[in-house]
Amino acid sequence: METHLSILLILAGSVLHGLSGVPGLWMSSRSATGQRIALLLSLCGSLLGLTGAAMGLLGYGANIVTLPWSLFGESITVSVDGLSAFFLVPVFLMGGLGAVYGLGYWPQAANPANGQMLRLFWGLAIMGMSWLLIARHAGFFLFGWEIMALSAFFLVSTESHLPDVRHAGWIYLATTHAGTLALFALFAVFHRITGSFALRPIAFDEAHLGMLTVLFFLALFGFGLKAGMMPLHFWLPAAHASAPSHVSALMSGVLIKMGIYGLIRFIGFLPEPPASWGVIVLASGCISGVFGVALALGQHDIKRLLAYHSVENIGIMLMGFGLALIGRTLGNPLWVALGLAGCLLHVWNHGLFKALLFLSAGAVVHATHTRQLDRWGGLAKRMPYTAFFFLIGAAAICGLPPLNGFVSEWFIYLGLLHTAQQAHNGWTSVALAAPILALIGALALACFVKAYGVMFLGSPRSIELSTVQEAPLSMRTPMLVLAVGCILIGLAPMLIVPALEVALRAWNPAPSIPFPGLLASMAPLSSISLFGLALAAGGLISFFLLSRLLKRRGIERTITWSCGYAAPTARMQYTASSFAHTILGLFRWALRPRIHYPSTKPLFTGSARFETHQDEPILDRQILPIARFVKQSFLEFRPLHQGFTHHYLIYVLVAVIALFIWTMPIHRLIERLFSR
Amino acid sequence: MNSLLNAALVLVLALNLFALGTSRILTVIRTVTFQGILLGILPLLVHGHPSLPAVYASAAAILLKGFAIPFMLTRAMRDVHIKREVEPLIGFLPSMILGAVATGFALIFAGELPLADEHMTPLLVPAALSTMFIGFILLTTRAKAILQAMGYLVLENGIFIFGMMLVEAMPLIVELGILLDLFVGIFVICIIVNHVNQAFSSLDTRHLAALKE
C-alpha cells in the first residue's frame, strides 16, 4: 500500500511538473500569468514528489509495482527503492527551486520569445528524470531518459538567436544521441541475456564474463557521457555556459547525476565484477577530478569554470563508486559502504552547492550582463547576499568543514585510507587515490579563491558598480534554501545517515554484506558535527572580535590590494589569468593553454597585452578537427549529385547492371564460352 | 504457339532498336504504341488457350498503351510545338549500338538464369531484360521530357513482358494496378511537360537542375 502511495505521489508530482509549462502556451507572451501558473504547478509537483521520495527513503517504496500500461509487449514496472528515492530528492528539490528562481531571472515579460518554451521544457526535463529514476522496465527507462535529454537540448538552446548557444546545443544533441545509442545497445544485450525488459540483477550463471564486460563498457560510455566523465565531458562546459543559469544549475546539479545513477544501478546488476572494473572507474574518477579542476582554473568565464568543477565532482563520485566496486569484488563491506555512501552523499551535496553556485553566479550575470570574470570586482559591496551565498557554495565545493562537501569527501577518504590498513594483498595501492582527492580539494580551493576574489572582492574592473543591484527576493530564496541545506548536512550529517543506509541496502548486490549501523559505527559523525560546530563558532567569534578590534583602533577601509600605492587603480589587481597562472603552469604539459606573452623587446616598450586562453582539450583539439576532416571528405562526393535527373537514372542503371553482373555466375559463363 | 510468341518478341526487340535510332518524336510515339499493342496480344499467346484474366489484361493493355497514352502524348507534343530530339546525351547511332549490346547481354544473362523449364525456350526473359535496358537508355540519354516519358513506357513494357511468365499466378488486380500507375504517371508527365515548356521555353529536363537549392 505504501509503495503504491509513494509511486502515486511521485507520478503525480512528475506529471504536474510536466504539465506546468503547458497552460502558459496559450497565454499572451508578455503576461506573467502563465509563469505564475507554472510556478504553482511546479511547487505542488515538487511537494508531492518530495513526499513520495521521502517515503521511499523511509523504506516504503521498495516493492515493484506494475502499471496498467505496457511497452514492447511487457507491462511497465516501477519502484521507488532507496536508491531511486535518493536521486529523486534533488530532482524535485531543484525542479521547484528553479521555477522560483526563474521568476526573477527569466521573467516572461522580459523574455517573450523564449520564456514559455523554457518553462515547458523545464517541466518536461523534471518529468523525464523522475520517470527514468523509478523505471524498472528498460523501455520506460529509455523513454524517461530521452524526454530528459531532448528537453535539456531545448533548455540549452533557449537563446537560440546567439550562434554560440546554437553551437553548444548541437554539440550537446550529438553527444546525447551518441550516449543513447550506447544505451540502446546496452539494453539490447541486457534483453538478450535476461530475456525480458525488466531491469533486474543478472544471475551469476546467466552470462559469461565477456558479455558482462561488454555491458560494463557500454554502460560506462553511455552513462559516462551524460555524467561528464573525462574524456567524455567535452559537451558539458559549452552547454552549461550557454544555458540560462537556473538551467545550468539543474543540468549540473541534477541532470548529469542521472549518468551516475545509471552507472550505479546497472553495474549493480552485473554479478561478480572483476577487480579491473572498480580500478577503471576509480582511475577515471581520479583523472576527471584532477583535470576537471585544472581546466576550471584556466577558465575566464564563470559558468564554464563552474561547469568544469562539475567534471571534477563527478570524478569524486566516481572515485567513491570505484572504491565500492573494488570492495564488492574483494567482499569487503566496509569499502562498499564507505565508497558508495561517499558517492551518493556527494550526489546530494554537489546538487546543493553546485546549484547554489550557479544560481548565485547567475544572479551576478543577471545584474552585470557579462560572464567574464575579469570584468567584475568588488561586487560584494553591492550584492552582499549573493556574495555570501556564493561563499557558502564555494567553501562547500572545496570540501571545507563545517559544510556538506567535507562530509561526503570524508567518507571517501575514510574508505580509501582503510584500503591501506587492511590486509588485502596488493590493494594498498588504492590508498594512493587519497592524496589525489586531497590534490583535487586543494586545486578547487585555489580555483574558488580566484573566482570569489575576482568576482566579489577588490574593485570593479570594467563594470559600473553603481548600476549593479542585489538580486530580487525570488532569486535569493532558492539560494537561501540551498545554502541552508549545505550547512545542515555539514553540521548534522547523522540526519542523512538513515537515508544513505536505505539507499545502500537497495543497491546491495551481494546480500551477504550487512549494512545497518555500519556507517554510523564507521564514520565518527557526531565528532564531525561537534568539530564543525566548534569551527563555525570559533570563526564567528574571531570575526566579531577582530572587527571590533579594528573598529576600535580606527582602521579605515580602503581598496583591496592597494598594496601601499599612492594611487592604486583597478588594473593593479590580480586578474583571473594572473592568479591561476602559476598553478596552470604545473599542468601545461596536459592542458596546453594558449599564452600570449607581451613583447618587451625595446627598453621603453609601449602598451602590451598578456593573455591566456584555455580551450577545451578534447572538443577543440580532437573531436572538431576530426569532424572537419570527415566533412571535407564528404565534399568529394558533391560532383556526384548536381540535380540532373539523368545522372540519378544512370546511377540506378549502373546499380542494376552491377547487381546483374554480381548475380551472374561468371565462371560458368566463361567455361561455357571458352571450353569445349 | 512458341514460334508465334518468339516472332512477336523479336518484333518487340526490333521496335526497341528502332525507337532508339530515330529523332522524330512522333515516330517514337508510334513505335512504342505499336510495341504496346503487340505486347497487349502477348497474354493471349503465352499459354495457348486464352483464359478470362488473360483476356482482361490484354484488353486493358491494348486500350491503354495503344490508344489512351499515345493520344495524350501526341496532344502534349502538339501543344508545345516540338517535333524532334535535337541534343541527346548520346547520339542516335551510338545509342542503337548500346541497345544492341544490351540485348546481347540480356540474351547471355538469361541463359545463365536458373529458370523453370517452361520459360527456357521462348525469348521472354531476354526480351524483357533487353526492353528494360533500352527503356533505361532512353530515359538517361534523351533530354526532352516527352522522350523520357517514352523511355518510362518502354521500361514498363519490359516489366510487362516479365509479368507474362506469371500471367496465371499473378492476380488480375495487380496487372491492372500497374497499368493504372503507368496511366497516371504519363498523365502527370503530360501536364508537367506543358509547365516545363512555359517556365523554361524548352522541354530539356536538364533545366530542372536550376531548381536545386
Residue A425 belongs to a domain: yes
Give the 3-state secondary structure of residue A77: strand
Instruction: Provide the b/e sequence for B43-65 (b: ≥16 CB within 10 Å).
Output: bbbbeeeeeebbeebbebbbebb
- Supply the DSSP symbol for B202: S
Supply the ipTM of this predicted assembly.
0.79
- Per-residue model confidence as pLDDT tens digits over A162-209: 999 999 999 999 999 999 999 999 999 999 988 888 888 888 888 888
The pLDDT > 70 percentage for chain A reads 95
- Of the two residues B118 and A488, the one the predictor is more confident about is A488
Residue A575: pLDDT over 90: no
The answer to the question of residue A303 being in a domain is yes
Residues A340 and A353 in one domain: yes
Q: pLDDT tier at A480 (50, 70, 90 boundaries)? A: very high
Pairwise CB contact (< 8 Å): A649 & B140: yes
For residues B13 and B2, give the distance between their C-alpha atoms in angstroms, rounded to a whole number.
16
Which residue type sits at A441? G
pLDDT value of position B90: 80
Least Cα distance to A413 among A394, A433, A440, A443 occurs for A433
pLDDT band at A493 (very low <50, low <70, confident <90, very high): confident
Within this chain, do residues A629 and A652 fall inside the same structural domain, yes or no?
A: no
Taking contacts as CB-CB distances below 8 angstroms, the residues of chain B near A669 are 108, 112
- The pLDDT assigned to A352 comes to 94
A285 domain residue, yes or no: yes
**B130 CB within 8 Å of a chain A CB:** no
| Within a domain: A428 | yes
- Residue A191 included in any domain: no
Indicate yes or no: CB of A646 within 8 angstroms of CB of B140: yes
Q: How confident is the model at residue B213 (pLDDT cuts 50, 70, 90)?
A: low
The answer to whether residues A430 and A314 belong to one domain is yes
- Which residues on neighbouring strands pair with residue A74, listed in sequence order? A71
Residue A659 near chain B (CB below 8 Å): no
What is the CB-side half-sphere exposure of residue A137 using CA atoms within 13 A?
19
Measured between CA atoms, how close is B53 to chain A, in angstroms?
A: 31
Cα(A493)–Cα(A501) distance, rounded to whole angstroms? 13
Kindly state whether residue A621 falls inside one of the protein's structural domains. Answer: yes
Chain A residues close to B108, C-beta within 8 Å? 669
Same domain for A327 and A460, yes or no, is yes
Instruction: Tell me what the mean pLDDT of segment B7-31 comes to.
Output: 88
Backbone angles phi, psi at A426, to 5 degrees: 85, -5
Q: Do A645 and B89 touch (CB under 8 A)?
A: no
> CB–CB of B112 and A669 under 8 A?
yes
Interface check A669 vs B, CB under 8 A: yes
A385-405 pLDDT, tens digit per residue, is 999 999 999 999 998 888 999
Going A19 to A23 to A29 to A31, the CA torsion angle's sign is negative
- From the list B112, B39, B73, the residue with the least C-alpha distance to A667 is B112
**pLDDT at residue A377, rounded to an integer:** 83
Burial A645-667 (b: 16+ CB within 10 A, else e): ebbebbeebeeeeeeeeeebeee
**Residue in B108, B143, B209 closest to A642 by CB:** B209
Whether residue A668 sits in one domain with residue A630? no
**Which pLDDT value is given to residue B161?**
85
User: Reduced to 3 states, what is the DSSP secondary structure of residue A76?
Assistant: strand
CB–CB contacts below 8 A, A to B: 35
Q: Predicted confidence band at B44 (pLDDT cuts at 50, 70, 90)?
A: confident
At A560, the pLDDT band (50, 70, 90 cuts) reads: low
Cβ-based contacts of B144 with chain A (< 8 Å): none
**Gap between the Cα atoms of A255 and A235, Å rounded:** 14
Number of domains composing chain A: 3
A292 part of a folded domain: yes
Q: How far is A195 from chain B (nearest CA, A)?
A: 42
Answer whether residue B69 shows pLDDT above 60: yes
Cα–Cα dist A450/A306, whole Å = 12
Tell me if A646 and B212 make a contact (CB, 8 A cut-off): no
Put simply, whether A644 touches B (Cβ < 8 Å) is: yes
- Work out the mean pLDDT of chain B and round it to a whole number: 81
What is the DSSP annotation of B86-111?
Answer: ---SS-HHHHHHHHHHHHHHHHHHHH
Which residue on chain A is closest to B209 by alpha carbon? A643
- Tell me: do A521 and A616 sit in the same domain: no
| The pLDDT of residue A285 is above 90 | yes
Q: Do B208 and A645 touch (CB under 8 A)?
A: yes
The pLDDT assigned to B212 comes to: 66
Q: Which residue of B has its CA nearest to A672?
A: B112
**What is the nearest CA distance from B87 to chain A, expressed in angstroms?**
14
B contact test, residue of A640, A664, A668 with most B CBs within 10 A: A664
Tell whether B211 lies on the interface with A, counting CB pairs under 8 A.
yes
Residue type, A520: A
Give the mean pLDDT of chain A.
Answer: 87
Residue B212 touches partner A, C-beta closer than 8 Å: yes
pLDDT band at A637 (very low <50, low <70, confident <90, very high): confident
pLDDT at B201: 75
For position A520, what pLDDT does the model report? 67
Read off the pLDDT of each residue in A485-514 and give the average, rounded to a whole number.
80
State how beta strands A74-78 and A65-71 pair: antiparallel
* Residue A520 burial class via C-beta count within 10 angstroms: exposed 0-12, middle 13-18, buried 19 and up: middle
| Interface probe with A: pick from B132, B200, B206, most Cβ of A within 10 Å | B206
Averaged over A572-596, what is the pLDDT?
81
Chosen from A640, A648, A651, A653 to mutate, greatest number of chain B CBs within 10 A: A653
A512 has pLDDT over 70: no
Residues A244-260 pLDDT 10s = 999 999 999 999 999 99
Residue where a domain stops, chosen among A481, A508, A526: A526
Q: What is the mean pLDDT of residues B180-200?
A: 79
Provide, as residue numbers in chain B, all residues whose Cβ is less than 8 Å from the Cβ of A670.
none
Question: How does residue B119 score in pLDDT terms, banded at 50, 70 and 90?
Answer: low
SS3 letters across A456-481: HCCCCCCCCHHHCCCCCHHHHHHHHH
Asked if A662 has any chain B CB less than 8 Å from its own CB, the reply is: no
Rounded Cα distance between A258 and A269, Å, is 16
Contact B89 A646 (CB under 8 A): yes
**Residue A515: per-residue pLDDT:** 56
Q: Which of A202-211, A436-445, A609-618 has the highest mean pLDDT?
A: A436-445
Q: What is the separation of C-alpha A388 from the centre of its chain, rounded to a whole number of angstroms?
A: 23
Contacts of B136 in chain A (CB under 8 A): 649, 652-653, 656
Is residue A411 within 8 A of residue A342, CB to CB? The reply is yes
Segment A55-76 mean pLDDT: 83
Q: How far is CA A614 from CA A56, A200, A327, B109, in A?
A: 44, 44, 38, 65
A655 CB neighbours in chain B (<8 A) are: none
d(CA A650, nearest CA chain B) in Å: 6
Q: What is the tens place of the pLDDT at every residue in B134-186? A: 988 888 888 777 888 888 889 888 888 887 777 666 667 777 777 888 888 88
> Quick one: A493 and A395 in the same domain?
yes
Q: Any residues with CB less than 8 A from the CB of B74 and at least 6 apart, and which?
A: B26, B29
- Give the range among A458-467, A530-539, A543-552 with minimum mean pLDDT: A458-467
- Percent of chain B at pLDDT > 70 equals 91
Q: What is the pLDDT of residues A121-174, one digit of tens each?
A: 999 999 999 999 999 999 999 999 999 999 999 999 998 899 999 999 999 999
- Asked whether A311 and A226 are in contact (CB, 8 A), the reply is no
pLDDT of res. A478: 94
A632 and A672 assigned to the same domain: no
pLDDT score at A280 = 94
Domain ranges, residue A312: 278-526
- Percent of chain A whose predicted confidence (pLDDT) is above 90: 45
Closest alpha carbon within chain B to A661: B109
More confident residue, B202 or A131: A131
Please report the pLDDT score of residue A544 as a whole number: 93
Give me the pLDDT at residue A43, please. Answer: 94
Residue A589 touches chain B, beta carbons under 8 Å: no
Tell me if A9 sits within 8 A of A52, measured CB to CB: yes
Chain A: give the shortest CA distance to residue B151, in Å: 11
Whether residues A378 and A506 share a domain: the answer is yes
Across the range A102-108, mean pLDDT stands at: 89
Give mean pLDDT, residues A327-335.
85
Interface check B16 vs A, CB under 8 A: no
CA distances in angstroms from A67 to A3, A9, A79, A265, B76, listed in the order given: 12, 14, 10, 21, 64
The average pLDDT across A231-238 equals 90
Lowest mean pLDDT among A129-143, A274-288, A564-578: A564-578
- Cross-chain Cβ contact A645/B108 below 8 Å: no
Q: Which pLDDT belongs to residue A248? A: 94
Residue A416 has pLDDT above 70, yes or no: yes
Residues A512 and A650 in one domain: no
Inside any domain, residue A576? no
Q: How many residues does chain A have?
A: 676
In this complex, do A644 and B206 lie within 8 Å of one another by their Cβ atoms? yes
The upper half-sphere exposure of residue A406, i.e. CA atoms within 13 Å in the direction of its Cβ, equals: 22
The pLDDT of residue A513: 54
